[in-house]
Amino acid sequence: MSEGQRFQLGTIGALSLSVVSSVSIVICNKALISTLGFTFATTLTSWHLLVTFCSLHVALWLKLFEHKPFDPRAVMGFGILNGSSIGLLNLSLGFNSVGFYQMTKLAIIPCTVLLETLFFRKKFSRHIQVSLGILLLGVGIATVTDLQLNLVGSVLSLLAVVTTCIAQIMTNTIQKKFKVSSTQLLYQSCPYQAITLFVTGPFVDGLLTNQNVFAFKYTPQVLAFIVLSCLISVSVNFSTFLVIGKTSPVTYQVLGHLKTCLVLAFGYVLLRDPFSWRNILGILIAVVGMVVYSYYCTTESQQKASEAAAQLAQAKENESDPLISVENGASILTDGGAAKAPGWNSNKDLRA
């Protein structure tokens, strides 16, 4: 199996793991929050990250991956930013209507495209832009119902979108810049994310629910669902970093909207949630957008790989030409007909 095939297989595995684990944790958390009344989402997320860090520490002890320290300021800044973005998204949901919150999530893709275009000179083809537009239209039809605006909610949504976009772009760029794996980055940033949310979580949850997380009655059933949620979160957090590292922040957001559609479908099938023709139409349009996006992403990636291989082959051929000429005793004739020795670069010969 070639390196390219292994990379594609790893990417498909990461995407599949992300979808399965994310849909599973949404269903688990929905039962925990809606059925059992545990509405402290931010604090729960801090526990998720703490369990993820402990799991990775055990994996490190078992030598399943190698610890690779790098710039501590970058790790701390990234961890705090990532934790803050989660808290801001929860606040955005609390201070806005569900419809406006869904619009906030939809805005993450255009914002990410804009930031990558402005600051990283990344180019998105017309086909990719159109497919993303179809996807966002479909998800919007399926999920956005009411749009009630307020100043505090709008500011929180804007901050949530910007911090989420920057955090996800940093997830990709840090892995490439410092040549660390998704596991290594997650292991080092997890404590900062967990501490950020552990400190702010009770305050944020108290502001949104008017309840105290420490005064909640923890029945055995609630504890069982919390433990299950934390265990699933290890896979969610790992696959998130893995997907963004192997693909891009935009692809991860596209995958996130696929999860939204699957959650709507599973909610209808398993939990008998209300479902309308508008939801069905929106999901179908979104799926078309995802298929088109996947097709053009794959096509453009293969085209870039072919161009890179052709350029590499051309470069090797150009490097080998002088040697071939000398070995064959070839000479270059001047205008006067006299043979002229090949032009050598003395510095290059000495280095060789």
Split at pLDDT 50, 70, 90, the class of 127 is very high
Classify residue 342: in a domain, yes or no. no
Give the mean pLDDT of 82-103: 86
CA-based radius of gyration for the chain: 26
Q: How far is CA 62 from CA 55, 56, 98, 202, 231, in A?
A: 11, 10, 44, 34, 18
CB 108 within 8 A of CB 89: no
- Give the domain extent around 198: 8-307
- What is the reported pLDDT for 280? 85
Which segment, 23-37, 207-221, 328-342, is predicted with the most confidence on average?
207-221
Q: Which residue has the tokens 């910007």?
A: 162
Classify residue 296: in a domain, yes or no. yes
pLDDT digits (tens, 9 = 90+) for 269-309: 766 666 778 888 988 999 899 999 989 888 888 888 777 77
- Percentage of the chain beyond pLDDT 90 is 46
Classify residue 199: in a domain, yes or no. yes
CB atoms within 10 A of CB 120: 11
In this model, does residue 337 exceed pLDDT 90? no
- What is the reported pLDDT for 352? 35
- What is the reported pLDDT for 42? 93
Classify residue 231: in a domain, yes or no. yes
- What is the reported pLDDT for 325? 46
Classify residue 324: in a domain, yes or no. no
**Overall domain count for the chain:** 1
- What is the reported pLDDT for 100? 81
Give the mean pLDDT of 249-261: 86
Q: Helix, strand or coil for residue 340?
A: strand
Classify residue 83: in a domain, yes or no. yes
Residues in the chain: 352
CA–CA dist 42, 203 (Å, integer): 9
CB 231 within 8 A of CB 25: no
Classify residue 349: in a domain, yes or no. no
